[in-house]
Structure 1
Amino acid sequence: MSQLELLLAEPQGSQPNWVQPPQSMPDGGRWRIVRSGHNVVGFVLLRSKRRSIGFVIGDDGLRVTAPNWVTLVQIDNAVIEKMSWILTKLQDWQRRKDSMAMSHTRWQSGGELPYLGCPIVLRVGVPGAHIPHGSPHFEGDHNAPQAGQCLWLPLPLDADNSRIREMAQAWLQGRARNWFQDRLNHFLRKTGLSITKWRLSSAGTRWGSCSSDGNIMLNWRLIHFSPMVIDYVIAHELAHLREMNHSRDFWNEVEQLYPDYLSAKQILKQFSPDGVPEL
C-alpha cells in the first residue's frame, strides 16, 4: 500500500492508520504521528517565531508549524482538536494526487478512458493505410462502443501526454457535438419545445445550463457517460424552458421528459465536471 493510501485509509475495526514520513524532510523538520481513536495522522513539524500553530496541506501531506515555546503535547492536542478538518483536507489532497497520477497514465498509448460509458483504449500510431493521415480512427461503432476497442491517434510513438490528450479530447468533443445534437432533436420532437441555440461547454462545475431566452449549454465531458446520463442532463435543461427553478413542478417536468431520471441523477452526483470520471 502506498504512503498516500496508508495516510488516508478509512479506519478498519481497531487497526490504526499507519503513516510514513515523506522521502525528503525540510530543514529543521521532524516527523510526528498523532492518534485519536482509530484515526492516525502523520505530519511534518516545523518550529518558527510565529505566534500560533499553523496547519498546511502541501505536496508531502500535512505540515504543522508551531512557535518555539509551544510544547509537543500542546501541538499534538491541537492536531487532535482539528482531526476532522485535517482528514477532510487530506482526502481532498489525495484525490488531487490520484487524479494527477491517473491523468499521466491515461494520456498515453494503452491508457483507458470512458466513452459513452464504456472503457476504450488510446493507441498511438497508424494501424493501417486506410486511415487518413492526421485523423483519429475509432475501430468500433461510434454510437455503440465495446469495452477494449481502440481509438487510434495518428501521432508519433514518442508523442508526449499533452499531445495525446489534446487530440483525444478534440475527438471526444466532436463526438459529443454529434451525439448531443441527435438527442436534443429527439427530445424537441417528442415535446414540441424549441430552443434558441445550444453549444458545448467546458465548465468545471456544471454539467449543463439553460437561460431564460432558450440558450442551452452542455458540458462536452458528458460524452464519457452512458447515454442514459446524457439524456437525463438534456431533459434537465429542457425542463428549465418551462420551469426556471428546481421546484417540485420542475422535477415533474424532468420526469415527464425522462422517467428514469433518478437513476441517472444519482450516477452523476458522484462525479465532478473538471476531470475524467472513473466509471
Structure 2
Amino acid sequence: MVQVIVPQKLSQQVIDDLIQKKTDWIRKKLIIQQSVPTYKPKEFVSGGFFSYLGRNYRLKVLTGDRQQAKLKHGYLEVTVKPNQKSDQSLIRKLLQNWYITHATEKLEQKTETYAQEIGVRPSRIKVKEFKSRWGSCSSSGEIIYNWKIIMSPGPIVDYVVVHELCHLVHQDHSKQYWHKVRSIIPDYHSKRDWLKVNSSLLEW
C-alpha cells in the first residue's frame, strides 16, 4: 500500500500529476520493500550460519580449557568449557568479540586506503554497535563504524567506509557530497540499496 500525505490546499489534479512524476521512484521503493527478508533471530549453536565479508560460515561449538573464537578450516569455531556448551549468551559474546576484533582490523585498513584516495585524514577510528546505522562521522573528524557491517560483502563495506570519509569533505548529504561518493564508488546506489534490503540479515 502507498500512502500519500500532501497539504490540504493541493488540488487532486496536482496530486495526480505529482504521483505520475514519481511513479518510477515509488515502484523502485516498493520493490526494495518487498525484497526485504524476514528477520530470524540467531541461535548460537553448532550448525548455525554466520556471515563474514559476505561469505557464510557454519558455527562449530567445541569444548576445551580456553574460551576463544576463531575462523578455521571454513568454520567459525567457538570453544567453551564443557559445562558451558549450551550457554548461548556466552557463545554469542565470544563470537561478537571475534567479529569486533576483525572488523576493527579490516575497517582501519580500508579507511586508510580510501582516506589517501579521497585526500582526508580522520582524527580517530572506532568500532562499536549501533542500533540503526552503519557508521557516523563527527565534526571533529572521528569516524565510528558499526561492527556488524563486516558481515556484508567487501564492496558494501567499502561503500560504508567511503560514505563516512566523504563527510570529512562535506558534512551533509548535498549533491556535492554524493558527487564525491560517486567519484570513488560510481555504483554506490546499488550498495545503498543492498543495505536497505539485507540489513536484517546482519542482525543478531
Secondary structure of 1:269's counterpart equals helix
Contact 2:60-2:77 within 8 A present in 1 as well: yes
Once the two structures are superposed, what CA deviation does each residue of 1:29-78 show, in whole Å capped at 9, x if it has no partner? Answer: xxxxxxxxxxxxxxxxxxxxxxxxxxxxxxxxxxxxxxxxxxxxxxxxxx
Q: After superposition, give the CA deviation of every residue in 1:222-278 in whole Å (9 maximum; x if it has no partner).
A: 0110010010011001111111111111100101122231221110112447x7359
Q: What is the aligned partner in structure 2 of residue 113 from structure 1?
A: 50
Distance 2:86 2:56 in 1: 22
Distance 1:266 1:179 in 2: 22
Per-residue CA distance 1:184-222 (angstroms, 9 max, x = gap): 011122222111101012110111111111111110000
Choose the corresponding residue for 2:118, options 178, 191, 198: 191
Structure 2 match to 1:251: 178
Q: What secondary structure, in the 3-state scheme, does the structure 1 residue paired with 2:121 have?
A: coil
The total of aligned residue pairs comes to 167
- Give the AA of the match of 2:152: F
Which amino acid in the other structure matches residue 79 of structure 2? P
Paired position in structure 1 for 2:67:
134
Which structure: greater helix fraction?
A: 2
- Which structure 2 residue ranges, 5 or more long, are not aligned? 1-37
Calculate the TM-score normalised by the size of structure 1. 0.55
Q: Secondary structure at the match of 1:136?
A: strand
Q: Provide the aligned C-alpha RMSD in A.
A: 2.5
Q: 2:75 is matched with which residue? A: 150
Which residue among 167, 175, 178 is the counterpart of 2:94?
A: 167
| Alignment partner, residue 269 of structure 1 | 196
Amino acid of the structure 2 residue aligned with 1:120: Y
Consecutive unaligned residues of structure 1, counting only runs of 5 or more, are 1-94, 141-148
Task: Within 5 Å, give how 1:70-81 maps onto structure 2.
Answer: none
Flag the structure with more relative contact order, 1 or 2, with Cα contacts below 8 A and sequence separation at least 6: 2
- How far the C-alpha of 1:133 sits from its partner, in A, is 3.4
Distance 1:257 1:173 in 2: 26
CA apart distance, 1:150: 0.5
Larger radius of gyration: 1
Could you state the TM-score of these two structures normalised by the residue count of structure 2? Answer: 0.74
Within the candidate set 160, 163, 185, 1:233 is matched to 160
Q: Distance in 2 between matches of 1:251 and 1:207?
A: 17
